[in-house]
Amino acid sequence: MKKKYKALIIIGAILLTIVMFFVVINAIPPKKNVENNPFVVGKGELPMIAAHRGGSINNPENTLLAFREAVTTIGVDIIESDLYLTADGYLVYNHDSYIDETCNVNGDISLDEVKALCEDESKRHYIEDMTLAELKQYNFGYYFEDKDGNRIYKDVEDIEAAGLQIATVDQLFDMFYESNPDLLFIVEIKNGGDKGREACRILADALEAYPEYKDQIVIGTFNDEIEQELKTNYPDLLRGAPTGSAAKFVLTQYLGVNIFDNGDFACLQIPLSYDIKGINIPLDSKSLVKRAHRRNIAVQYWTINDPDEMRMLIEMGVDCIMTDDPVLLAEILEEYK
């Protein structure tokens, strides 16, 4: 009986030690990932609106027209897009590595025909194989449809005046630098290897001409070598969490051992859930947001186009909602104001 009692005491002591361990490591204030983070909203403030691709539901994606309307008419806080390097060394905004599905590079054929054509990857027109001058020939509003299904920009003749040409990183900075000095940017460098490293250099050089924006842009990448390039050679630029770092952060938060996470990213950009080998892992957690905020990390969810999901995230206290429909999100935020 004494042995059994003694064993229970030992087990109890072990459990108490484990509990105290978790209490202590969660009570210790974690080190901030970044000291100043413009992407974190104040306590009780509504989330920022990030126009994904400039707001591809409202306007032709990744065009100066879309970016201008998103900022000046809709009033978004953040422009979000991806960057690719052209053959002659310009950084342009586009979601895919090829341009076929957004412009008339294949002539007057339907979008369904284009998609069928692009199933053969050798038939695609890749940005890295084209010069900026070649890219600027095409109408990037060609396949855009308004809410009634009309292709309202299909026959525009002066595509430059309409803002329907492909946009360079410099053009976007220049468009808003004087009028919207507080505008924020989320960009992802899509190129890897040497082209990705060159893209980093070009982006950093462009920001030197627009110094106010240097602290107002967060850069992401899916390429490990580009993440390392940014950390090593451009440490002053804010970075989004790469996939591995984001997964590690989420895991350590859920297990309550967040003190062991040593990430140094500024923004956690995540969907509502991850699907890993058929297992769905929900990420819409108020606790996750609070733990990120303890490290001064901004929590940004993508790509949210459903009104109920928008409301849920607003009530969770997230910092930013990336959406293809910033008009809808702006209307919903008005409800909360």
**What are residue 52's DSSP bridge partners?**
80
What percentage of the chain carries pLDDT values higher than 70? 89
Q: Are 67 and 167 in contact (CB under 8 A)?
A: yes
What is the per-residue pLDDT across 230-255, written as a single tens digit (0 to 9) for each? 999 999 999 999 887 787 888 777 77
Separation CA 245–CA 231 (nearest Å): 13
Mean pLDDT of the chain: 90
Assigned fold of 31-85+167-336? TIM Barrel (3.20.20)
Average pLDDT (220-230) is: 95
Using the predicted structure, report yes or no on whether residue 19 has a pLDDT greater than 50.
no
What is the per-residue pLDDT across 134-190, written as a single tens digit (0 to 9) for each? 999 999 999 999 999 999 999 999 999 999 999 999 999 999 999 999 999 999 999
pLDDT band for 304, please (50, 70, 90 cuts).
very high
Domain boundaries, the chain: 31-85+167-336
Which amino acid type is present at position 188?
Answer: E
Which amino acid type is present at position 56?
Answer: S
Identify the CA nearest to 189 among candidates 300, 269, 268, 92.
92
For the whole prediction, is pTM greater than 0.75?
yes
pLDDT band for 24, please (50, 70, 90 cuts).
very low
pLDDT for 280 equals 82
Using the predicted structure, report yes or no on whether residue 18 has a pLDDT greater than 80.
no
Identify the CA nearest to 333 among candidates 76, 108, 37.
76
Separation CA 54–CA 68 (nearest Å): 8
What is the per-residue pLDDT across 203-216, written as a single tens digit (0 to 9) for each? 999 999 999 999 99
pLDDT band for 1, please (50, 70, 90 cuts).
low
**What are residue 185's DSSP bridge partners?**
79, 217
pLDDT for 249 equals 84
Q: Are 317 and 288 in contact (CB under 8 A)?
A: no
Phi-psi region of 44 (alpha: psi -120 to 50; beta: other; left: phi over 0): left
pLDDT for 3 equals 58
pLDDT for 251 equals 78
pLDDT for 234 equals 97
pLDDT for 30 equals 59
- Beta strand 184-189 with 78-85 is parallel
pLDDT band for 201, please (50, 70, 90 cuts).
very high
Identify the CA nearest to 108 among candidates 145, 139, 134.
139
Strand segments, DSSP code E, in the chain are 48-52, 78-85, 91-93, 184-189, 217-220, 238-239, 267-270, 273-276, 279-282, 298-301, 320-323
13: how many CB neighbours lie within 10 A of its CB?
A: 10
Within the chain, what is the greatest distance between any pair of CA atoms? 93
Supply φ then ψ for residue 20, to 5 degrees: -65, -35
**DSSP per-residue string spanning 261-310:** -----SEEEE-SEEEETTEEEE---HHHHHHHHHTT-EEEE-----HHHH
Separation CA 269–CA 273 (nearest Å): 12
